[in-house]
Chain A
């Protein structure tokens, strides 16, 4: 029995009929067509599916689409505004904070939350802040650099 949900995704409102068991990540990827958020585990361990739900980073693989009825969602696709990259996107690019790029969308959303909570984080705070997001390629060091660079840029 499908249920009607209404959500605002990256600033655009939409309504969809979804199965109650449809995972939020599958809703975003397969129904809405926003494939930037990825699936690395489906068990809330890797963070590849991280999106922002009413301003808070969540793992969209362990929520149902019906749970976000009436909510605001922000995904990696919504981070570019007026054709300009978010400072974190720019910093990940400049600092080589990604290799295969699979973890990157979730990682950037998690880092955005981190910088909102701690605008000028120490290395330790950055490492702690992204513990929920796994990256197998970079060894995290360039990600740390990217977060620092974005923090400096956003502070100006």
Chain B
């Protein structure tokens, strides 16, 4: 059982299972999420949304709604025509960008498209009034699946682009034609990464408040990116950025879905300015499923080329990305991340990829936990398994054969990345050991003799994380930290990363406490309020610890120089060392405490030459590269012949995320990540019917894992420090999700391989497996 340190512990904190400092407010119900915010005179907004996936708006009549007592206003598309658009931050050559108004103008493009907003004194009245808004629609033909949208004669999502193609993108590395010409075996497969719904337990929500005297707007939003939101929202609303304050209070999960800028955030700002009263909008779960971004949405055509001994020579991919009706913040960039990660952990240098980004009459896809990388990993890991099956090789052996060795790092990939550090065999060997692989295979052979369908599935995943060097990212890729020591010697860290459940109030305090030699209790970490925190980028892409952490570290290094200078002044010595929270004279051993130094620095009776008073440093850290975490997962499953149900007998995850600041939190990230990968592999899918109606529009129909659906997860770690940052950390937020889906699908395919099954698309619902079983394994 874990040893838990209580926060007054001193000494080295980095690397310990320190329990979280954010928890007391969360376990007592005293934290403040957006919906907990109350303002005097606050109004409530309810949004009228399109029931059709494609329709022309012929008219809107809001008279009945406006007549309802308590209704303050109704706004429609024409009121906000000049605002916006909802921004797309990604740029690709030739990208077609539809103008994304914050309320529909004369046409709607997906079910749930916002058409009008009703504002009332109470949320019940707002909802009643929304039902009274009459919208006259003329329904138009819709298309809700990307391959159908590409077929000749398909309805055009945007009439100006009848081919429904937003962009095409080509990338090549090495000589793929030569690789395929020299191949002794080629395996091809169509693989689907279905549309998923991120389903943060807290839906989105916004409170906006206008101070007319100051001409200043405050927007409270459940977001992962307060500063980027402020910059973009200022543009959408035509406000100077210094008159806009974004506050991100407690956030109930994001998983990428709140790494965005949404129409409603601008709309509430507009409403608050118009009615001169604070306004609150809280997304319902149904709206969350209809209108917050979805993830994945790939149809991938893969071809892998290899030699008979299992050496992989090359990989081709045709990627069809379902974009939905619009580009949200990063929509078109997500599939390009899949291409970057195409080679996975393997040494081969020949790749070719073609992406077609397709408009459909669905809500946009965008970054959902892993964002492009789970799709890529699922692809390569399925293909490697299929190749092993074709060559009758063991799936572990084929992987071991194709890994670059530790001395080949930094390793240049076919897609132009430089993998920072790696020992890819280590986690695989550790995972194989944990399951006792040879014995497990023997058990499987015995099970098969008894007619049981038992499978063993491996995945060895890699990911590009810690986004990232600025030239390689749509916004800046750095992160910032301010570290200040108050006159009494207590420490405040302001981080530009905006954690929302990851626990950086604890891990950054661990870093700061160790570096400054103070107690954990003496450090607080603040984030999320643009009026308090210097500009920052945010939390996504496993970047908070790996980019935000080093910013804290470097700020403290600079601060320490200043502390030493003030210490030298107080000790009247030229040689002073700052250690364990004290400045010590190297010659006579006399010392002053950090608190004494801090007090002197603010009192400023004397200043070190060239120094300003006070102890405060802000540091913007630009990473020189991404980091590349990796690992190996093994899933042992059994399929019930009668029902097609998959049981997970064992699940082992060995991850390498570099150095670990807090193992307790890393385990938490792995568990949660694996749960979401399992959700994709076994249960979850966003289903649209042919008319673009979302059939999986509620939690009844969209199955995120419940406690009883999860197996016990066995975790292990190997540690290969990253040379990219001084902490040696790589990031772990997405690892579990990326590793899990291929391990599970490989396992179930292995279970059914005696029937001749070689591939199954996700989610592996009992009905799908049952049908396979009925057809003797032939799809």
**Chain A residues within an 8 Å CB radius of B161:** none
A118 interface residue, CB < 8 Å from B? no
Question: In the complex where A38-B252, A100-B201, A100-B253 touch, is A93 in contact with B23 (Cβ < 8 A)?
Answer: yes
Q: Is A101 an interface residue (CB 8 A)?
A: yes
Give A99 to B736 CA distance when docked, in angstroms: 15
Contact of A92 among B23, B33, B252 (CB under 8 A): B23
Decide if the interface of chain B is mainly helix, strand, loop or mixed: loop
Contact B704 A138 (CB under 8 A): no
A141 touching B201, Cβ below 8 Å: no
Q: Is the CB of B672 within 8 A of A138?
A: yes
Asked whether B675 lies within 8 Å of A98 as measured between CB atoms, the reply is no
Chain A residues contacting B719 (CB-CB under 8 Å) are: none
Shortest CB-to-CB span from A134 to chain B, Å, is 6
Chain B residues contacting A137 (CB-CB under 8 Å) are 201, 253, 501, 668, 672
Among B32, B203, B676, B707, the residue within 8 A (CB) of A40 is B203
User: Which residues 22-39 of B sit at the A interface, judged by CB distance below 8 A?
Assistant: 22-33, 35-36, 38
Whether B409 is near chain A, meaning CB under 8 Å from some CB there, is no
How many B residues touch A, CB cutoff 8 Å? Answer: 60
Q: Measured between alpha carbons, how far is A123 from B707 in the docked complex, in Å?
A: 10
Check B285–A131 contact: CB distance below 8 A: no
Partner of B36, one of A35, A95, A104, A130: A35
**A19 close to B (CB within 8 Å):** yes
Number of A-B contacts (CB under 8 A): 177
The smallest beta-carbon distance between B739 and chain A, in angstroms, is 13
Query: In the complex, what residue of chain B is closest to A41 when comparing beta carbons?
Result: B285
Q: How far is the CA of A19 from the CA of B35 in the complex (A)?
A: 21
Is A60 positioned at the interface, with any CB of B under 8 Å from its CB? no
Contact status B285-A42, CB under 8 Å: yes
Tell me how many residues of A have a C-beta within 8 Å of chain B.
Answer: 59
Proximity string of chain A (83-105) to chain B, C-beta cutoff 8 Å, 1 when within and 0 when not: 00100010011111011111111
Q: Answer whether A140 and B124 are a contact pair too, CB < 8 Å, given A79-B28, A103-B201.
A: no
Q: Is the interface of A mostly helix, strand, loop or mixed?
A: loop
Given B28, B501, B676, which contacts A85 in the complex, CB threshold below 8 Å? B28
B57 within 8 A of A: no
Which one of B124, B285, B502, B707 contacts A130 once the chains associate, using CB atoms below 8 Å? B707
- Chain B stretch 6-64: residues in CB contact (< 8 A) with chain A: 19-20, 22-33, 35-36, 38
Q: B-facing mask of A24-50, CB < 8 A → 1, else 0?
A: 001001100011111111110110100
A80 interface contact, C-beta 8 A = yes
Report if A89-B252 is in contact (Cβ < 8 Å); known contacts: A102-B202, A103-B201, A141-B710: no
> Is A136 among interface residues, defined by CB-CB distance under 8 A?
yes
Which residue of chain B lies nearest to A98 when distances are taken between CB atoms in the complex? B26
Determine if A102 and B713 form an interchain contact, defined as CB atoms under 8 angstroms apart.
no
Q: Does A102 contact B253, Cβ atoms closer than 8 Å?
A: yes
Say if the beta carbon of A57 comes within 8 Å of chain B.
no
B506 nearest CB neighbor, chain A only: A96
Residues of A within 8 A of B4 (CB): 94-95
CA distance A144 to B667 in the complex (A): 14
Interface: B503 (CB within 8 A): yes
Q: Known: A77-B29, A77-B30, A93-B27. Is A41-B710 also a contact (CB below 8 A)? A: no
Q: Are B23 and A101 within 8 A (Cβ)? A: yes
Within 8 A of B (CB), among A112-156: 123-124, 126-128, 130-131, 133-144
A21 close to chain B: CB less than 8 A: yes
A102 and B201 within 8 A (CB):
yes
> Is residue A65 within 8 Å, beta carbon to beta carbon, of the partner chain?
no
Instruction: Please give, as numbers and ranges, the residues of chain B lying within 8 Å of A34 by CB-CB distance.
Output: 29
A22 to B2, CA, bound (A): 45
Interface string of B221-257 (1 = CB under 8 A from A): 0000000000000000000000000000011110100
Q: Which residues of A contact B699 (CB under 8 A)?
A: 41, 43, 45-46, 134
Q: Which of B25, B200, B250, B706 has the most CB of A within 10 A?
A: B706
B200 touching A100 by the CB < 8 A rule? Answer: yes
Of B123, B668, B710, which contacts A99 at CB under 8 A? B668
- C-alpha gap A45/B19 in the complex (Å): 30
Query: Nearest CB to that of B668 among chain A residues?
Result: A96
The answer to the question of A108 belonging to the interface, with a C-beta cut-off of 8 Å to chain B, is: yes
Lowest 10 CB-CB distances: which A-B pairs, in order?
A36-B29, A102-B252, A101-B26, A100-B501, A139-B671, A139-B675, A76-B29, A99-B501, A35-B36, A45-B699
Instruction: Show 8 A/B contacts (Cβ-Cβ < 8 Å), sorted by A.
Output: A40-B202, A43-B285, A95-B4, A99-B668, A102-B200, A102-B252, A137-B672, A139-B671
